[in-house]
Amino acid sequence: MNKAAIAQFFATLQAANPEPRSELEYSTPFELLTAVLLSAQATDTGVNKATRELFAVANTPQAIIALGMDGLVEHIKTIGLYRNKAKHLMATCQLLLDRHDGQVPQTREALEALPGVGRKTANVILNVAFGQPTLAVDTHVFRVANRTGLAPGKTPLQVEQKLLKRIPPEYLHNAHHWLILHGRYVCVARTPRCWECAVAPWCDFEPKTPAPVRGGKR
């Protein structure tokens, strides 16, 4: 995908969704950090269902710690790997209080020093909560970047570095959401829905899958 095609690609995504948002529900940087920590190997729908009840009673590091481990587990036990996630979240809350006055830090180094926070999670927080021009490469972004020719790479870090170089600056802030949503609903893993893809004209993927036959002879 060349420079002109990339510009058209993102202009089209922007026209379709001018103000994209995370499908995780949150109202503060700490709530977003909590939701992302809980989202590994879980659906956003499942996380949102749990955090609606959790945040109603505890949406700060102090409040989470006050719940205690048993209280936290009770609120997130419907989410996969909830015991390990509870340990990470509780330890993260304590570090936020000890090192950052209970606030979510705004640097990659400080974020990645928190239990359970890797590069991908740090990028989500930096971009979504604090508006920094970076993006997280999850399975959806990795697939879309490779399949379309937008930013081919063998590892998430390679893809991230290429995306940061190739995405026009005016689109970088929202690129994370556009690519995730595109991979989640259109450029899906098994059979990409090329027949309804608005950015297909600029995509390198071939062959395009024809629209499914509805009724009649096959």
Which residues carry out catalysis? 120, 138
Q: How far apart are CA 63 and CA 212, in angstroms?
A: 51
Taking every pair of Cα atoms in the chain, the longest distance, rounded to a whole number of angstroms, is: 68
Q: How far is CA 203 from CA 80, 100, 140, 167, 199, in A?
A: 35, 44, 16, 15, 7
Q: Is 17 exposed, middle or buried (0-12, 13-18, 19+ CB in 10 A)?
A: middle
Instruction: Tell me if 206 sits within 8 A of 44, measured CB to CB.
Output: no
Distance CA 193, CA 187 (A): 6
Q: Where are the beta strands (DSSP E) in 114-174?
A: none
Q: Report, in this order, helix, strand and coil percent for the chain, each rounded to 5.
A: 60, 0, 40
* Spatial CB neighbours of 55, under 8 Å, sequence gap ≥ 6: 27, 31, 34
